[in-house]
Structure 1
């Protein structure tokens, strides 16, 4: 495996950590800034939505530029933006700075996955994309628990110092081993043409709904652990590590099936498991776990993360196969929908938590995941039917 693939893994580790590094300290952040916990969750949403909007835009605007330079600029913005977040004087300033860090993440997302796909042969794309996505797993296994430990010891602002340090590590790794990577030759990718392909639309929608439903609860991991187990601060870290363990297992399973005929079956199984996990969250938040609540919560987190992250490489590998020269745009759009799903899930979960109670957020999440599963069962059998990679790169034609 080229060393640059592992550098991209570290880059994803930095991006994933900055997105949620303070998630275990939302209650403490809210108390310090004098805002509801649900409102504090908007600090997650701000970065996620910026990533979601910016990533595909940058994929089109920067389609003719060398990839390594784009990644370096994105990581530099992440580094400086997180240092500024550490000193934010209030919640409004923090939201503004989270928009800046979201922009840095968007630059990385615009080319990161496609760069990984360019560095290996087509038959290895599914496994390589799963490996690079493993950086997000490391963020949950190491970055987020470290954030909770550091924030518990030194205050929630220290979480951003940790995120900046990880961004600096990723930047150094990139400078050390990443070669210059030219843009993919061919026509400039067209979002309109890409979205005209039915299986591509179905893959995008399934991924988006899965993340929206899951993040109605998991975006609030700190408050979730607080309410179900009574634990707080650094004690939240092991539960965040459970997300990483589940993600690692899910990526391994999804990566193995991504390029095989079993991909659709694995996808449907993962979505059904994700649905059951959202119902489990609702039950635990309603107080039905009893004396075993902590163990049941840890198991639910592992299974939920595993199911969610098994979905991603399966859909990404299929998108890369369909998109041809538009692969950077397809993967950027998919990544932006993942981020938008995370942000939308956090917003929906926060609103539901504030107005209907935390357990209701689990039920709302289950309903959204059910929609993803039904869509996959009905539409995704047509994935790959009669579609050539060239179609995704052709300019969009005006409608009638």
Structure 2
């Protein structure tokens, strides 16, 4: 793989870290700012929804722009936004600043996936996209646990200082190895044309529902670990590392499946495993784990992350094969739906937790994942040998 792919991995590491770096310190943040833990989850939602709305808009507005410059601008906004979040005097200000960081992430998301797809040949696309997505894995494996360690030692505001440092490193790597990447020639991208393709519709729905279902619980990793095991602060870090390890396994599996004829079966298997994990969360939160709760929770977190991240490269590779000149828009919309799913899941899970207890969030997540399984049946037709198999629907024009 070209060095620029690894720079994009680091860019995703920065974006993923800023999204959830304070997830293990939600209880501490809530106590310091005088709000409920469920309400604190809105700091995640604010950035996620801004990313979801902004990324496809930027993909259209910046379709004719050179990619490296757009990525650098997005990282600069992200860097300044995280520094400001560190100094936020109250929760309202923090939420507003999270909109700023979401805007920076949206600029990155508008062109990041399409840039990766342009840098490699089509037969390596699935693995390249999985590798770039590995930045999110590193965020969960390293960035989030480091955030919990920093926050446990210096307070939750230190999480944003860490995120700013990671973003600065990504910006330096981008400047060092990323060549200028021109936009893909062709007609202007059209969301309407993309949404006329049934497998594209199904891929978008599957992506959103899978992440929304998973994040009904995983957005509250700190409180989850607190309730099931009694651990808090820096002790949450190893459980967050399980998210990273599971994501790494899932991306490796999904990347290979995306470049092979087994993508359809792999997608179904990953979603069924994700469903079982949400049910396991509900059981553990209801107190069914007994003395082995910590080990069972760690295993569930690992498997849930593996299942969720196996889905992503399969869907991305399929979308890239279908979208043609509109690949940047398709992947930006897909990334937006990931973020929107995360935000919607965090909001719905927080509401369920506040009103009915934490176990209800797991049951809600399982219900949403069932909907993802139903949508996934139309993503890759049984007759398609692979995501780029002949006979795929025609690519969209303007």
Residue equivalent to 2:160:
160
Q: In the alignment, does 2:221 pair up with 1:203?
A: no
- What's the secondary structure of 2:377's corresponding residue? helix
Q: Is the 8 A contact 1:270 1:310 kept in 2?
A: yes
2-side partners of 1:379 and 1:388: how far apart? 11
Q: Is the 8 A contact 1:325 1:389 kept in 2?
A: no
TM-score relative to the length of structure 2: 0.97
In the alignment of these two chains, the number of paired residues is 393
Kindly report which structure 2 residues correspond to 1:241-280, keeping only aligned pairs within 5 A, or say none.
241-280=241-280
Give 5+ residue unaligned stretches, structure 1.
396-400
Q: In the alignment, does 2:316 pair up with 1:320?
A: no
Residue equivalent to 1:398:
none
Deviation at 1:261, TM superposition (A): 1.4
Runs of 4+ in 1 over 2 A off after TM superposition: 377-390
2-side partners of 1:152 and 1:174: how far apart? 31
2-side partners of 1:119 and 1:378: how far apart? 29
2-side partners of 1:168 and 1:229: how far apart? 35
Residue equivalent to 2:302:
302
Residue equivalent to 2:188:
188
Residue equivalent to 1:39:
39
Deviation at 1:187, TM superposition (A): 0.4
1-side partners of 2:205 and 2:378: how far apart? 13
Q: Is the 8 A contact 1:191 1:329 kept in 2?
A: yes
Q: Is the 8 A contact 2:52 2:339 kept in 1?
A: yes
Query: Deviation per CA, 1:24-69, whole angstroms, max 9, x where unpaired?
Result: 0000000000000000000000000000000000000000000000
With over 3 angstroms needed to count, the CA separation of the structure-2 counterparts of 1:322 and 1:286, relative to structure 1, is same
Q: In the alignment, does 2:130 pair up with 1:102?
A: no
Q: Is the 8 A contact 2:63 2:188 kept in 1?
A: yes
Residue equivalent to 1:140:
140
2-side partners of 1:215 and 1:290: how far apart? 24
Query: Deviation per CA, 1:229-253, whole angstroms, max 9, x where unpaired?
Result: 0000000000000000000000000
1-side partners of 2:86 and 2:240: how far apart? 22
2-side partners of 1:275 and 1:90: how far apart? 37
With over 3 angstroms needed to count, the CA separation of the structure-2 counterparts of 1:47 and 1:5, relative to structure 1, is same
Q: Is the 8 A contact 2:198 2:378 kept in 1?
A: no
Residue equivalent to 1:11:
11
Kindly report which structure 2 residues correspond to 1:41-80, keeping only aligned pairs within 5 A, or say none.
41-80=41-80
Deviation at 1:260, TM superposition (A): 1.4
- What's the secondary structure of 1:381's corresponding residue? coil
